[in-house]
Structure formats: structure tokens, C-alpha cells
Structure 1
Amino acid sequence: MRTWIKKNSLSGVKFKSEMDAHEVTVLSSLVESVIGLLEDRESGAPQDELAALTGLRTGNSESPDNPVLARLLPDFQRTDPSKASPNSDDLDDAGANVNGALRSLHEPEIIDAKKAAGRVLLASLPADGGKILLTQEQADAWLSALNDVRLALGTNLGIDADTPESLDPDDPRAPHLDVYHWLTWMQDSLVQALMP
């Protein structure tokens, strides 16, 4: 992949790069996997009779069990266990109720936005590699989709502050860490191009 470049044109600002076919295959596969996870989560939402009558969609009220989905769809409010009294679950219950209500109301829209960003990225990839030319809106969607893919891959790899820059070549995570670093570089390059 080439560094993202900002170009001014008669039709407005464009963001340009280039990918080879192998890179397109890897990125497409990762984005499709994230979209598939989100679709599975969406299809598991309970059916609500009131939602059917009002047209308002509702989502799951429970946090995802899958660690990748939990990272992509985090709780809206975090409870601080240190503030709860030792014999009380009141804070945990209140936090769970707030998170459940907010999740039920907003998760469908969040999933829609994440899937839409992923589809914009997929639609703008050259199938056999080649030049990529994005509008401002497409570039914003790319940033969102790349972030989701990085979060998903980072969660699967267990990446944290203590993860080294490189792993022993015999470590089965080593090639995936290289992909994670590539995604990080790609996202950073696009952010730099988008900056005024």
C-alpha cells in the first residue's frame, strides 16, 4: 500500500493511494469478518412488539459475550467497583440497567453505522489491486472501518500496552501482529492526509 495523498480536484478534495491484490484480499476478508460479526449480533436481538407498532428498532440489552463484539460495542457507562459498598450490588445493578436501556435504544444504529462504513470501504477497493480514490465521506468511512478491524484483530491477539512491537517468528500470532501494524500504519497515513 502507498501512503495516502490528499489531492485537490475540480470535483473537490480526493484522497489517493494504491494497493496490490494481496492487500485487497486481506483487508476485504477482515472487513467482511467484522460485518459478519455485527450481522450475527443484530440478528440475535429480541423481537419487541412495541417496536413493531412504533417502528422504533430495539437492540440487545445485554452486553455481548464475544470479546471482539464487546470491544466493538462497549457499554455506554462504566461502573466503578471501588465506589460500591462491599455488601451491595446497587451500583452494579444501576449501571447494568442504564447500559441495558441505552444499548437497547442505540445499538441498532451503531451497528448500522459500522456496517455501512465497512461496505463503503469494500465498495471502494479495486478488486485486483490498483489505485484507490476516495471522497472526504469515503475517507471518513475508511477510518471508521479500519478502526473496527484493528479493534477486532487487536482483541483476538490480546494486544495491550505490554505487547512487544514484534513477536518471535515461531509465535503463531506473529503474522497477525504484522497485519495489525499494517492496519495501524494505513489508518495513521489516512489521518495525516485528512488533517488540514
Structure 2
Amino acid sequence: MTRKVGRFKYHYLNAVLLQQVMDRWIEPLLVKPAARAVLNLKLQLEGTTPMQDKITKPDFMMQTFIHCTQVALWDALSDPDQMAAYHFMCDRVDGTAQEGGQMAWIRADDSTMLTQTATKVTPKTRIKATFEPLFFGPDAPASRMAFEIGAQGPFCKLTILHYDIPEGQDGVAERWARLAASLKSWLETGTPVKMEM
């Protein structure tokens, strides 16, 4: 606003309008460090593990539909006696599929083919575990895998996900296919399909 008195011209600023402009343009710059600090705290407290599978694309994914109940599929994936019954190369599974539990997949000659540690278990829905393939040698690097179960009427959808497969371990894809085929046959007919590599 301006006002003229004689040869003088007085200019006045409307503080409300000036404050509104400042709020609109400067306030986001002042708030940004605080918002960033809150996001950093959230990441620190939660860690990156819970979101890691959603961010990382699996190296291998396979889905199959099995005519069985969700409980039957869960039991087949978590009960050591059933796992040994349908596994295409192992005669025995020692351990437990409970969270933090370790499992060893044992061949007929008592050699350990694979070891796993269950890292996250959601009953009847998901098992996440390490994948330590001793069949590639005693110093073979480990990776991560997950079984996901989804009920679909009288069927269940089983999704097998495998992450961070090290170079030179590409043969695991065929092993997963053999395992899924044997599991499906075991649950639908009571007879596993033992197809050794």
C-alpha cells in the first residue's frame, strides 16, 4: 500500500501477505530436515529386512497349484517326516521349520545335501529361510528362499521364491521344479515322484 504526502511517497508492507509467501516458499525447506530425520529413524528402527523381498526381485520364481487344503500343504512344507517322504534326493530331514530352527537334508548315504535356517515363519502362509547348498561343495555361498501359500478354493497356490543365487548355482531351478512335482504328487495321490538329478 502506498500513501503520498506532499512530495513524499510512503510505502507500507502488509505483513500477513508477506508471512503467507514466506510460509509457502520457505517453510518446506525448514521442515525437510525434520522429515528426513523421521524417515531415517523409521528405517533404522525397522531395518531393511522386512521390505527387502518386496524391493529385490527374486532370481527364481515358480508357482504351481495343488489340489489340497492349506493345512495339508503347510504340513508338507514344515513337517520333517513329510519333507523327507517327497524330497527327490533325501531320505531324512533333521530339525524344525519353526522360526530360528535349522534343518538338514540328509541323503541315503548319511551325507548332508542342504542346510537351512528358518528366518521368518508365518503359519500356514509363508516360510522364509536361508539356502545353504552343500551339494555345490562345502564352501558354497548361501542364498535366501521363501515358500508362499495361498488358498484358492479347493486348491492351494504354492509360490517358490529364491533370492541372491550365487554365480555357478543355476542348477537350483531344476531342483525346485523336481521338488514341486514330487510335492504335488505326494499331496494329490499319496505317492511322491523321486526323480534324482
TM bin, normalised by shorter chain, reads under 0.3
TM-score between the two structures when normalised by the length of structure 2? 0.24
Larger Rg: 2
Structure 1 or 2: more helix by fraction = 1
TM-score between the two structures when normalised by the length of structure 1? 0.24
